[in-house]
Structure 1
Amino acid sequence: MTTTGALLPDPPARVPDLDDRFTGPGLRRELWVDHYLPHWTTPDRSLARYDLDGDGLRLRIDGDQPDWREEDAPLRVSNLQTGTYSGGPGSVRGTHRHRPDGLVVRTPTPTKLLWAPSGGRVDVTVSASRDQGSMLAAWLVGTEHLSETHAGEVCLFEIDAAAIGPGGTRARCGVKAHGDPSLTTDMAEVAVPLDASRPHTWTAIWGGGETVIGCEGRVVRRIPQSPGYPVFLLLDLFEVEPRGGTYPKTARVHHVRGWSA
């Protein structure tokens, strides 16, 4: 699907509820958790590898980084997310039950709603990875702390390294139902006329039964459904192939802004 959509609306005229350029000496703990879905695995496997070097957040996959879960190998990930929720040990309750094959809580996590809007807008400026086997993604996923049916996802983008070219990039975006019976999975591949390894901005506007996804100020998808409950923002660099190539594998997050509806 090649898209040359309409202009996105301007962002709200007020100060963002979430605004981070990652320029400080450390991660802003009032905004971010530096583990990927830590309740489904163990801390050594969920912990992100990253640098804050004055040019934003550099997510890394290192050569010695373990798989997120042994059962999912090969799958390594460095992720930031705007909160956590899980049930107790052995529970099947927790944010982003995205697999049907036996996810259970291994590391209980407290309920942290650092940024968890039920609708709004988010702009994410990134430079994707061109390293072998890498994928950069940004998702809004249901927290599930109120109900296990609050499980839907707005996928801003999934960008495979192999899909990036100097004049254009293919990316996947849309809505995923997961455990939400009120949603229907509607994902599509879109072509955007840019080199995604250079800084560029993706946008999601969701709420009121509609989701709009944009890139560089243009609408790329308009979907007549949206989650209507709290969601966390996840920013992820994955290595999804067997180990190979040069390490570390990296991508950058330059700026994140979010407005709750």
Structure 2
Amino acid sequence: MSALTTLQTRRRQVLLGRLLTLFALAAAWQIFGMLGDEDVKGIPKFSDVAVALVNELGTSSLWTSLGQTVTTTAIGLALCLVVGIPAGLLLAAHPFLTVSSRFVIDFCRTVPPLAIIPLFLLIMGPTQRMAVALIVAVSVWPILLQTIHGVRNVDPELLATARSFRLPLWRRLALVVAPASMPYIFTGIRISATLSLLLTIGAELIAGVPGLGKEILLSQSVPDRMFALIIVAGLLGMLLAFAVMAIENRLLAWHYIPRRMTT
């Protein structure tokens, strides 16, 4: 059996396993929703949620709120990249900067996001700008730390070769250090992407920022619609994760091919 046939068979098996898992979860949800127990009477049946989800897909309010959530998440994540990667490269360029800034970084990244929301809400109000500021304040740290970690783990022979060609510092950072650090940086991006979406929906739920989270909050009295919107939020998170992984596999093909050849 060729390697291509084996890969195709494995992909079909994985897809079948995922479909069976989803079917089992849907069946368990349907049975759980049909129970007459007082403790679970507020949980609708899966069939009712599926009907509500189909109805929501035909409304403009869902797509408007979904667009607002996606826009806020994208802006916040983009700012995290713009701030986190250059700052990480700069801090990792010299051991003194790394050590001296570590305390500040550890303090800022351990502040609970829920403790920041009232402050940002007071300053900026329930706006998209407030949600973006929350994302940057919380999600920038994984990218920053992974960039520092990646730079500190660059192969010394690469740096020695760059110095032998007398490349200036900015060219060493752009042409040698940054590409060699990309596997670490993308680890931080994956974490920050998921965290950014969670913070966006959290800000919409708690602070009333327009978006999918606010729609979930407003639909508490209609459980079918609320659970349907929660499913949409989960699907959005899956799409975001798959998109980041696809970009990573595309840009870092040079990194994964040698690893596959050695396994």
Report the TM range for the smaller structure's normalisation. Answer: under 0.3
Please say which structure displays the higher CA radius of gyration.
Answer: 2
TM-score (norm 1): 0.23
Structure with more relative contact order (C-alpha pairs < 8 Å, separation 6 or more): 1
> TM (normalized to structure 2)?
0.23
